[in-house]
Amino acid sequence: MAETTYIEAITQAMAEEMARDERVFLIGEDVGAYGGAFKTSAGLLERFGAERVIDTPISEIAIVGAASGAALMGMRPIAEMQFIDFITCAYDMLVNFAATSRYRVGSSCPLVVRGPAGAGVHGGPFHSLSPEAMFMNRPGLKIVSPGTAYDAKGLLKAAIRDDDPVIYIEHKFLYRRIKENLPEEDYIVPLGKANVRRSGKDLTIVTWGAMIYVADEAADALAKDGVSVEVIDLRSILPFDEEAILTSVAKTNRAIILHEAPLTGGAGAEFAARIAEKAFDYLDAPIKRVASLDVPTPYSPPLEEYYLPNASKVLAAARELLAY
């Protein structure tokens, strides 16, 4: 069976859901005739027509707002941000309108907002965002961040079928670097469920998105020293799989949280706090966070490399914890 790239998995998920459910449509900038800035929607216009693959003016508020209005009317919109950084332009609409709709007035607002996120491709300050933390403290949204092609497809399908608004963070660094054999048959990856990517007994790394590969690299290196690392790919940031985190920490007694967004106020702070509150007795060492620097994402490769987490930063943190 043919290997599927991460980006093809996203395209397949959209196409299959649009074929399965006529309420599903795609709306965004350059998603139609051009097929999306990264060609994520290539072929969808030809297959589903301009009524369901909607090109818009450069108006993120209008894209997310119109998707929200349509969602209230029973549609299943997928709103594309050309780069996820531009979701900040629609922040108000998402956190005040879409996120609160069910809680405030009992109205389901099932839209998916998705777009290319993450650094490592020299996109600079405005094309490198990892936006999860800025939405975590605004209840009502769900947030997912796949790191594999399998999860990219399964999480997107689950997000489209979900009755609540979902922010789907796809990592552009992975688009064409990751290839996997995917099942032929329809499947979803349930929202809110982590994946134990690698089983181990000495140290837990909780991570997601492109950082799962950094965790793998660190885990391989530590394995050579006889250290057995458990890697939890969180996949869903909100709601998150607290049980998976706590179960792992109870087993390994050491935890690193690894994420690509800047350290301070990052999602890792929440997970660290949760471990401290609920698994303190199991810990043999402090909880460590490895994240990007607290600066905007710089453009030049040496700067960006210094800014981002990498395996050696994870190894340094791990060795510190293992010394306890």
Partner 1 sequence: MALETFGLTRDQLLDIDYYLRLTRTLEERLVAMFRQAKVIGGLYRSLGQEGESVAAAYALDYKQGDVVQPLIRNMGAILVAGATPSDIIKQYMAKGDSPTRGRELNIHFGHPERDGFIGQISMLGDMIPVMAGIALAGRMRKKNLVSLAFIGDGASSTGAFYEGMNFATVKKLPMVVVLENNGYAYSTPTANQTAARALADKAYAFGCASDTVDGNDVLATYGAVKRAVDHARSGGGVTLLEVITFRMKGHAEHDNAAYVPPELVEEWKGKDPLQRFERALVENHYASGEDFSRIQERVRREVDTATDEAERSPMPRGEEAAMGLYAGDGYWES
Residues of the shown chain interacting with partner 1 in the complex, contacts defined by CB under 8 A: 25, 51-52, 54, 56-57, 59-75, 77, 92-93, 96-97, 100, 102-108, 139-140, 142, 162-164, 239
Nearest residue (CB) to partner 1, 67 versus 308: 67
Burial group, residue 322, by CB count within 10 angstroms (0-12, 13-18, 19+): middle
DSSP 105: H
Maximum C-alpha span of the chain: 61
Whether 259 sits among the annotated catalytic residues: the reply is no
Sheet of strand 255-262: strand arrangement: 195-198, 229-233, 203-207, 255-262, 288-292
Nearest residue (CB) to partner 1, 1 versus 105: 105
* Region for 210 from its dihedrals, namely left if φ exceeds 0, alpha if ψ lies in -120 to 50, beta otherwise: alpha
Quote the least distance from Cβ 90 to partner 1, whole Å: 9
Question: What are the φ/ψ torsions at residue 90 (nearest 5 degrees)?
Answer: -105, 15
| Cβ atoms of residues 148 and 6 within 8 Å | yes
Nearest residue (CB) to partner 1, 25 versus 173: 25
Pair of tokens at residue 23: 């309420």
State the Cα–Cα distance between residues 92 and 111, nearest whole angstrom: 15
Question: DSSP for 139-165?
Answer: BTBEEE---SHHHHHHHHHHHHHSSS-
Quote the least distance from Cβ 93 to partner 1, whole Å: 6
Quote the least distance from Cβ 87 to partner 1, whole Å: 14
Q: 296: cis peptide before it, omega within 30°? A: no
Q: How many CB atoms lie within 10 A of CB 315?
A: 18
Quote the least distance from Cβ 8 to partner 1, whole Å: 27
State the Cα–Cα distance between residues 203 and 164, nearest whole angstrom: 35
| Cβ atoms of residues 257 and 231 within 8 Å | no
**Which listed residue (122, 127, 171, 259) is catalytic?**
127
Quote the least distance from Cβ 306 to partner 1, whole Å: 36
Quote the least distance from Cβ 11 to partner 1, whole Å: 22
Pair of tokens at residue 280: 């303190």
State the Cα–Cα distance between residues 291 and 247, nearest whole angstrom: 23
| Cβ atoms of residues 54 and 66 within 8 Å | no
Catalytic site residues?
127
